[in-house]
Amino acid sequence: MDIDGLTNLPGYLDADAQRELLATIDALPWRDDLRRRVQHYGYRYDYSRKRVDADAFLGPLPAWAGALAERLHGDGHAPRPPDQVIVNEYQPGQGIAPHVDCVPCFAGTVLSVSLGSACVMTYTLPKAAQRVDVLMEPGSLLVMRGPARYDWRHGIAARKTDRWQDTVITRGRRVSLTFRTVLLS
């Protein structure tokens, strides 16, 4: 089953680009205030209040993130270069609860680049009791627009292995780069 507005592009970043990005990211400071390590760029998202405001501005994106934001725009995946990035680190056994990215906080396109390990993300459409699993491979790009962005919840089960097409995938460390455009009221 396809999800309207969801595009999954395996191989968006090659192995060398992934290694270079991970080395750059790992040289930067991590925050430990969640169940996983995170880095915020552009704007800090306030998890407790579920919002972003002008006071949360951290400065322009660093060069590595700005270059990738420009590429995402130039390749036609974002209507303009995103101005906010959250880097999430997931160790084996960690996941994220099903959710829709904050609707009043972010514009209509959410993009996620996967680095490190593969994992399965599950999309659910509660009103229709539908479920779709999507394999996110290292270097893949996931683009969510329209119904995929606003109607479907996406999450990652907290487990150490995934099953994909009769194959068991053992999770390693995965780092996701979520690019968004902030809406300030």
Could you tell me the domains of the chain? 6-180 (2.60.120.1520)
Residue 21 near residue 14, CB atoms below 8 Å = no
Q: Which of 7, 180, 1, 27 is nearest to 101 (CA)?
A: 180
Q: What is d(CA 160, CA 169) in angstroms, rounded to the nearest whole number?
A: 9
Q: What is the pLDDT of residue 1?
A: 64
Q: What is d(CA 121, CA 136) in angstroms, rounded to the nearest whole number?
A: 7
Q: What is the pLDDT of residue 57?
A: 95
pLDDT, one tens digit per residue, over 122-149 is 999 988 889 999 999 999 999 999 999 9
101, with CB counted inside 10 A (0-12, 13-18, 19+), is middle
Q: What is the pLDDT of residue 34?
A: 73
Number of C-beta neighbours around residue 161 at 10 A:
13
Q: Which residues of the chain have pLDDT under 50?
A: none
Quick one: DSSP state of residue 34? S
Pairing mode, strands 6-9 and 141-144:
antiparallel
pTM for the full predicted model: 0.95
Q: What is d(CA 147, CA 151) in angstroms, rounded to the nearest whole number?
A: 5
Q: Is 48 helix (H, G, I), strand (E, B) or coil?
A: coil
